[in-house]
């Protein structure tokens, strides 16, 4: 019933034609997409597989006015060569989650004028945020009114222990503006956590107790967000993706954003890999080139040196034809981290950061 009101919240109406290319076994496709369309009586155009090459022709053919995205879909579109159909469309609104700030800016500049509505939520979560102001790069705003209806907090989190930071009384500590924090939401009758299919042990770690007062219970989203001085919320990283190296926290999203500014890179996936004899995890970046460019290691080294602190610069690079994603267009990080950087096990070209020489060099056995 809540999802039935999704497109009403987005400003959708009965005359809209909504383009949906998301898997229907996922909440975004079935509940937000299909049920959301039923809620406003709109037309939905179902595409069995997303095709960046056919997208704008489809939009023209079916008079699409709204596009529902997730993950990397908008990046695939801005990486396409120009095509006539992209200028004559009727799309007025794109709505979804996982749109990175750099892609957002390029998307609006190239395909606009259109409105972007970025949201944040989890299938099993009891909290959602909504960027109703259109502030680029934000997933919502922590206004007092919004937090009154959908209460949530950002608390300090220790990447090393994988646990929230607690004070001398055993309570969690709220973050300051600009400081990344773990997003948690109180569990109540109004915002319950219903658990997972299967045994109750699956929910372990998802519920935090005694957060701000004895006996209270909060849902742990597993996501780190940042709230700025104006109350805008920005996604920072997944707790499992952020890693520590040289005693510092490294957010994979920040490193990826810095690398994606290079015009010869089409896609970047950043993750931490374990290195024998070293504490923490070293940064590694899987890269896919933008045709017809080739890999410029000199420019890449100069760029990371200028834009990233020493601890955040990727120690390893892995060049791939294309980067693997999940069925919901999120980048595969866990599998890539497990595959590591062993040249005898990987066929992709690998490079290592040689700080003495100030360069990225081919990594051999």
- 163 and 198 housed in the same domain: yes
In this prediction, residue 195 carries a pLDDT of: 87
Instruction: Write the secondary structure of 271-296 as one string of H (helix), E (strand) and C (coil).
Output: EEECCCCCCCCEEEEEEEECCCCCCC
Q: Which domain holds residue 205?
A: 144-238
The three-point CA angle 352-300-336 to 5° equals 50
For position 177, which CATH number holds?
Answer: 2.30.38.10
Q: Would residue 267 count as lying in a domain? A: yes
Q: Which of 238, 254, 289 is the last residue of a domain?
A: 238
Please indicate, yes or no, whether residues 250 and 176 belong to a single structural domain of this protein: no
Cβ atoms of 83 and 55 closer than 8 Å: no
Residues listed for the chain? 365
Q: Where are the alpha helices (DSSP H) in 112-233?
A: 144-149
As a whole number of Å, the end-to-end CA separation of the chain is 57
- Say if residue 298 is in the same domain as residue 214: no
Phi, psi of 213, rounded to the nearest 5 degrees: -150, 155
State the Cα–Cα distance between residues 113 and 228, nearest whole angstrom.
27
- Looking at the fold, whether 190 and 299 belong to one and the same domain comes out as no
pLDDT score at 71? 78
Do 187 and 229 fall into the same domain? yes
130 assigned to some structural domain: no
Is residue 128 domain-resident?
no
Domain-embedded: residue 19: yes
Tell me whether residue 51 is in a domain: yes
User: Does residue 182 fall inside a structural domain?
Assistant: yes
The reply to whether 136 falls in a domain is no
Spatial distance between the Cα atoms of 364 and 343, rounded to a whole number of angstroms: 6
Distances (CA, A) of 244 to 247, 282, 311: 6, 8, 9
Q: Are residues 72 and 166 in the same domain?
A: no
* pLDDT score, position 326: 85
Do 204 and 265 belong together in one domain? no
Per-residue model confidence (pLDDT) at position 76: 93
pLDDT score, position 257: 93
H or E stretch at 182: strand 181-186
CA distance linking residue 7 with residue 151, whole number of Å: 22
Please give the chain's pLDDT, 365 residues, in tens.
889 999 999 999 999 999 999 999 999 999 999 999 999 999 999 999 999 999 999 999 999 999 999 978 999 999 999 999 999 999 999 999 999 888 999 999 999 899 999 999 988 899 999 998 899 999 999 988 988 888 999 999 999 889 999 999 999 999 999 999 999 999 999 889 988 888 888 888 899 999 999 999 999 999 999 999 999 999 999 999 999 999 999 999 999 999 999 999 999 999 999 999 999 999 999 999 999 999 999 999 999 999 999 999 999 999 999 998 888 888 999 999 999 999 999 999 999 999 999 999 999 99
Domain boundary among 238, 261, 296: 238
**CATH number (domain holding residue 275):** 3.30.300.30
The pLDDT score that the predictor gives to residue 330 is 87
Same domain, 296 and 188: no
Spatial distance between the Cα atoms of 76 and 100, rounded to a whole number of angstroms:
12
Q: Do 283 and 306 belong to one domain? A: yes
When divided into structural domains, the chain yields a total of 3
pLDDT at position 340: 96
Could you say which of 56, 88, 121 is where a domain stops? 121
Tell whether the torsion through CA atoms of 254, 257, 259 and 265 is positive or negative. Answer: positive
- pLDDT at residue 102 in the model: 85
In a domain, 133, yes or no: no
Residues 11 and 107 in one domain: yes
**Residue 131 confidence (pLDDT):** 93
| Helix, strand or coil, per DSSP, at residue 248 | strand
Residues 84 and 103 both lie in one domain: yes
Q: Find the CATH number of the domain harbouring 27.
A: 3.40.50.980
Per-residue pLDDT at 202: 82
* Largest distance between two CA atoms of the chain: 63
DSSP letter string, 117-182: EEEEE-TT-S-EEE-TT--TT-SEE--HHHHHHS--EEE-EETTTTEE-B-TTS-B-BPPTTS-EE
Residue 268 shares a structural domain with residue 208:
no
> How far apart are the C-alpha atoms of 346 and 365, rounded to whole Å?
11
């Amino acid at each position: 019933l809540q999802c039935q009101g999704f497109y009403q919240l987005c400003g959708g109406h009965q005359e809209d034609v909504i383009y949906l290319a998301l898997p229907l076994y996922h909440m975004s496709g079935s509940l937000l997409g299909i049920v959301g369309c039923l809620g406003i009586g709109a037309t939905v155009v179902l595409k069995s597989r997303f095709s960046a090459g056919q997208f704008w022709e489809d939009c023209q053919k079916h008079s699409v006015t709204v596009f529902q995205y997730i993950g990397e879909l908008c990046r695939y579109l801005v990486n396409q060569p120009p095509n006539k159909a992209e200028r004559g469309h009727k799309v007025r609104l794109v709505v979804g989650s996982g749109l990175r700030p750099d892609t957002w800016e390029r998307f609006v500049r190239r395909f606009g004028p259109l409105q972007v509505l970025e949201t944040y939520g989890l299938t099993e979560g009891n909290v959602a945020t909504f960027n109703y102001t259109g502030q680029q790069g934000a997933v919502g705003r922590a206004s007092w009114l919004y937090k009154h209806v959908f209460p949530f907090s950002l608390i300090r989190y220790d990447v090393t222990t994988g646990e929230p930071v607690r004070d001398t009384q055993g309570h969690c500590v709220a973050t300051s503006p600009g400081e990344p924090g773990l997003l948690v939401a109180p569990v109540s009758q109004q915002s319950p956590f219903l658990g997972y299919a299967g045994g109750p042990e699956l929910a372990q770690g998802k519920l935090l107790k005694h957060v701000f007062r004895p006996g209270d219970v909060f849902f742990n989203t597993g996501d780190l967000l940042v709230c700025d001085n104006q109350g805008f919320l920005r996604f920072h990283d997944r707790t499992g993706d952020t890693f520590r190296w040289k005693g510092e926290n490294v957010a994979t999203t920040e490193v990826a954003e810095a690398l994606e500014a290079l015009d010869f890179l089409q896609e970047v996936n950043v993750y931490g890999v374990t290195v024998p004899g070293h504490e923490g995890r070293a940064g590694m970046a899987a890269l896919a080139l933008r045709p017809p460019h080739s890999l410029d290691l000199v420019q890449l080294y100069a760029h990371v040196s200028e834009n990233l602190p020493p601890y955040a610069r990727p120690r390893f690079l892995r060049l791939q034809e294309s980067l693997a994603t999940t069925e919901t267009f999120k980048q595969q990080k866990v599998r890539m981290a497990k595959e590591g950087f062993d040249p005898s096990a990987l066929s992709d070209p690998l490079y290592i950061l040689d700080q003495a020489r100030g360069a990225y060099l081919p990594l051999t056995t």
